[in-house]
Homo-oligomer: A and B are copies of this chain.
């Protein structure tokens, strides 16, 4: 199989890890910024039929997106049979519908402008809502959740139950719990009919005597996870662990999470951070095999 791993400046080492899995080479893009602020990219010479472009769209999102689009356009000028784009972290994934009139579907803009540049397939990692994104792509699309890798990492914890901080995150918790051979649940808001107090409680699961692993897609400010952790500890969970695929870590998120009593916070290398302890490259490899 002839292919080529083209890393943009936001590929996070993932391009090289993937290239190694396929016994292939990685091509580093030449990138510079002109004095007026415009981006310039150039792809060094090579002779391959397939290109896999790895580009994570974390901060600065708009610059990373532009770099990816320019790289794709440059590949269009070369003699490539198939271009596959791997987006470990997809920016704007949470603005996936018009919540209010007058708003854009931002992720549609991102995906359409990527697809437009001669792309044959797109792979994302654990996007906020997979189904809503499929609508905006006409090419084959795969979203991977690194279930095996996460389960492997947390297998060391005994009596662990998996908890989604809300119903929307339940599918991820279910997959990881099944891989760990344990139970899962999500948190719901309950209003006390007498005091009027709002409490966040698990739908079915009992916390007593169990370690709890909270799993979510994005750790942004960490507010949602911290709330979930406090709820678990107040309800007599032994220890609380937290996993979020993408560690954006804005505004002191880690402080907030450790203050809430979480034992360990773990993330992947889709966005590089001090808690990026899990690599997603093996799951991405399996997905890539379908398209190559």
Q: How far is it, in angstroms, between the C-alpha of A248 and the C-alpha of B36 when the chains are bound?
A: 7
Known: A103-B42, A221-B35. A109 touches B73 (CB 8 A): yes
Task: Write out the residue numbers on chain B whose beta carbons fall within 8 Å of the beta carbon of A41.
Answer: 103-104
Give the contact stretch, choosing among A90-98, A195-203, A279-287.
A90-98
Q: Which chain A residues have a beta carbon within 8 Å of chain B's beta carbons?
A: 30, 35-45, 59-63, 65-66, 69-74, 76-78, 91-92, 95, 98, 100-106, 108-109, 112-113, 116-117, 220-221, 248, 250-251
Known: A77-B104, A104-B73. A37 touches B66 (CB 8 A): no
A105: nearest chain-B partner, CB-CB: B73
A39: nearest chain-B partner, CB-CB: B62
A112:B101 contact, CB within 8 angstroms? no
- Shortest 6 CB-CB contacts between residues of A and residues of B: A73-B104, A74-B104, A37-B59, A43-B102, A62-B66, A62-B62
Task: Write out the residue numbers on chain B whose beta carbons fall within 8 Å of the beta carbon of A101.
Answer: 45, 77-78
A109:B69 contact, CB within 8 angstroms? yes
A44: nearest chain-B partner, CB-CB: B102
Q: How far is it, in angstroms, between the C-alpha of A35 and the C-alpha of B35 when the chains are bound?
A: 28
Q: State which of B60, B74, B104, B220 has its C-beta within 8 Å of the C-beta of A103.
A: B74
Q: How far is it, in angstroms, between the C-alpha of A78 and the C-alpha of B117 when the chains are bound?
A: 27
A42:B100 contact, CB within 8 angstroms? yes
| 29 A-B pairs with C-beta separation under 8 A | A35-B220, A35-B250, A36-B59, A36-B248, A37-B60, A37-B61, A39-B61, A39-B106, A41-B103, A42-B102, A43-B102, A43-B103, A44-B102, A45-B101, A61-B66, A62-B66, A65-B66, A66-B109, A69-B109, A70-B104, A70-B106, A72-B104, A73-B109, A77-B98, A77-B101, A77-B102, A77-B104, A77-B105, A78-B101
Task: Write out the residue numbers on chain B whose beta carbons fall within 8 Å of the beta carbon of A112.
Answer: 113, 116
A185: shortest Cβ distance to chain B, in Å? 28
A66: nearest chain-B partner, CB-CB: B62
Q: How far is it, in angstroms, between the C-alpha of A109 and the C-alpha of B104 when the chains are bound?
A: 20
Known: A69-B113, A95-B40, A221-B35. A74 touches B102 (CB 8 A): yes
A70: nearest chain-B partner, CB-CB: B104
